[in-house]
Structure 1
């Protein structure tokens, strides 16, 4: 770990005043500290925001709001989340380990960096870590890497389970920076890698995520999050699916479907949603609806199994909701 200066903030205003070029915010620290130890990132200045009052879980006519400094474990177990939005609670409970969920924050979870081993190894080329150096995963060990949204410059998957569920629910971020406050759909927040994979999102220099807003969706009570991984504890998704359905008289009126573990960002699947709409809630419907879920996939040497796994994972989630 390289030397850096340190400051602590007690308000959003203080945090923004402390921010400068080459600085980083410290919340739970479960990603930042690891990457600093590996010297994958080396901020010149660290601003501790653990005392900044960005907490609270509230529900109203417009939906659910969650403060960015809320801990993952607290959100997963909250009555306003677990009952009305099961997919959120399940996505959080299947993330990381209990110890990390007790420390990590909602804002930090949405900003966590990829688990690609090449990104986390400064001895190997990685365009996301060192722009222009190349992507070692394209011809390397790429079993866990993305098949959707990739480019010649990067094939790393997005690691957040929570982001997949939030994008299925069309959530928005509240952001605050030197230029004031703004709101942005989470689906518009994450960038595709293209030729600039080091530019991962739309966060401006010094800007903070202050909260997450989930629109009211009464039928989200019938939702789930299915995660497929190599081991059941503390592992990242090979594939995941966040699914919610509105069923009336045995027929699907509306659906929300998003996938993780297969894309360079959380991947909403509107074609699958549309294919489910107006169809009976049964296995044949599910199997037909996912036929084109992986359209546009770009396969690598070791991850050609992912399109089929994606289709099966969505069907598994739908079967679970069908009882």
Structure 2
């Protein structure tokens, strides 16, 4: 870990001013990812700017049009257990609680969750080539051990995946990310916030230099009747997803009126295919139709030596999770939904 200065920001404008003083200044909130990045010499900071004193970023509020605004400094735990989130956006609550350990959720913030970096082994090993860590050095994962890596949206430069559970649910809910920088305030649709690797995998998202996430807006529709979050991993304890699925359905008279299906653990960003969701509209909610949608979602998927199994796993996970969404009670411990 390199030496760095430490300072506290008193408000959003002060934080923006401090972050723009030096290209190598970094924000710290919960610190559950940035500290690891510093310890492993993956990133350096001249100054860490602590934003935890900005109280307006620590609350949840209802907007005049019925949307819910999540403060970026709310912890993952406080968000997941908030009565409004538990009741109206249960899918988001379930996804958050599937991620990390309780201790980390008690520290990690909503904004930090969106900004966390990949858990690719080679990204964290500074002695191996990694285009995400050192652009132009190569991607060790492509011909290395790539069990946890991408099957969708990857490039010749990077096959890393984005690790967040919370973001998979936010993608399914069509959340909006609000950011503020030296050029003012702007809102970014969640689908446009994270990036695919292309030829610049070191860029995880579309934040402009010196911008700070101030809040996340949840649309009025929370899909509180038919939802499910499924996380498949190598062990049931704290572990990142091999494949995860967030499903939100609106059903009337045994017909699907709207479908949202987002995947995690398969790409450089949460993965949604609107064409597949549209195919389900006015269809019966059954395993056959969900399987058809799964084929469309995984169209073009390509695995590598150790992770081709994830393609079939993802298809089966989509069907299973969509069926679970028909009866959220099936998500209780020990319940086994029938397909």
The correspondence for 1:30, drawn from 26, 32, 35, is: 32
> 1:158-177, aligned counterparts within 5 Å?
158-177=162-181
Instruction: Say if 1:4 and 1:45, in contact at 8 Å, map to a contact too.
Output: yes
Instruction: Say if 1:76 and 1:88, in contact at 8 Å, map to a contact too.
Output: yes
How far apart are 1:18 and its partner, in Å? 1.3
Distance 1:246 1:124, change over 3 A: same
Which residue of the partner structure matches residue 237 of structure 1? 241
SS of 2:121 mapped into structure 1? coil
Q: Name the TM-score, length of structure 1 as normaliser.
A: 0.97
Q: Name the TM-score, length of structure 2 as normaliser.
A: 0.93
Distance, in Å, in 1 between the alignment partners of 2:313 and 2:232 is 9
How far apart are 1:272 and its partner, in Å? 2.2
Distance 1:218 1:33, change over 3 A: closer
Distance, in Å, in 2 between the alignment partners of 1:150 and 1:135 is 11
Which residue of the partner structure matches residue 15 of structure 1? 15
Instruction: Say if 1:174 and 1:209, in contact at 8 Å, map to a contact too.
Output: yes
How far apart are 1:83 and its partner, in Å? 1.2
Deviations 1:72-130 (A, max 9, x none): 00100111111111110011001100000000000000000000010011111000000
Distance, in Å, in 1 between the alignment partners of 2:211 and 2:222 is 32
Instruction: Say if 1:146 and 1:263, in contact at 8 Å, map to a contact too.
Output: yes
SS of 1:90 mapped into structure 2? helix
Which deviates further from its counterpart, 48-57 or 140-149? Answer: 48-57
RMSD: 1.1
The correspondence for 2:289, drawn from 285, 289, 299, is: 285
Whether 1:114 and 2:118 are equivalent positions in the alignment is yes
How far apart are 1:257 and its partner, in Å? 0.8
Which residue of the partner structure matches residue 5 of structure 2? 5
Equivalenced residue count is 323
Whether 1:134 and 2:138 are equivalent positions in the alignment is yes
SS of 2:149 mapped into structure 1? coil
Which residue of the partner structure matches residue 62 of structure 1? 66
Which residue of the partner structure matches residue 75 of structure 2? 71
> 1:83-94, aligned counterparts within 5 Å?
83-94=87-98
Which residue of the partner structure matches residue 39 of structure 1? 41
Unaligned runs of 5+ in 1: none
The correspondence for 2:322, drawn from 295, 318, 322, is: 318
Which deviates further from its counterpart, 210-219 or 71-80? Answer: 210-219
Which deviates further from its counterpart, 288-297 or 137-146? Answer: 288-297
Which residue of the partner structure matches residue 250 of structure 1? 254
How far apart are 1:137 and its partner, in Å? 0.1
Instruction: Say if 1:85 and 1:221, in contact at 8 Å, map to a contact too.
Output: no
Q: Structure 1 segments of 4 or more deviating over 4 A?
A: none
The correspondence for 2:54, drawn from 43, 52, 55, is: 52
How far apart are 1:271 and its partner, in Å? 2.5
Unaligned runs of 5+ in 2: 328-339
SS of 1:244 mapped into structure 2? strand
Deviations 1:158-200 (A, max 9, x none): 0111111111111111100111111111110111111111111
How far apart are 1:274 and its partner, in Å? 1.5
SS of 1:253 mapped into structure 2? strand
Which residue of the partner structure matches residue 106 of structure 2? 102
Instruction: Say if 2:272 and 2:297, in contact at 8 Å, map to a contact too.
Output: no
Instruction: Say if 2:259 and 2:280, in contact at 8 Å, map to a contact too.
Output: yes
How far apart are 1:220 and its partner, in Å? 4.1
Distance, in Å, in 1 between the alignment partners of 2:35 and 2:225 is 36
Instruction: Say if 1:172 and 1:213, in contact at 8 Å, map to a contact too.
Output: yes
Distance, in Å, in 1 between the alignment partners of 2:232 and 2:73 is 28
Instruction: Say if 1:226 and 1:317, in contact at 8 Å, map to a contact too.
Output: yes
Distance, in Å, in 2 between the alignment partners of 1:297 and 1:321 is 25
How far apart are 1:317 and its partner, in Å? 1.0
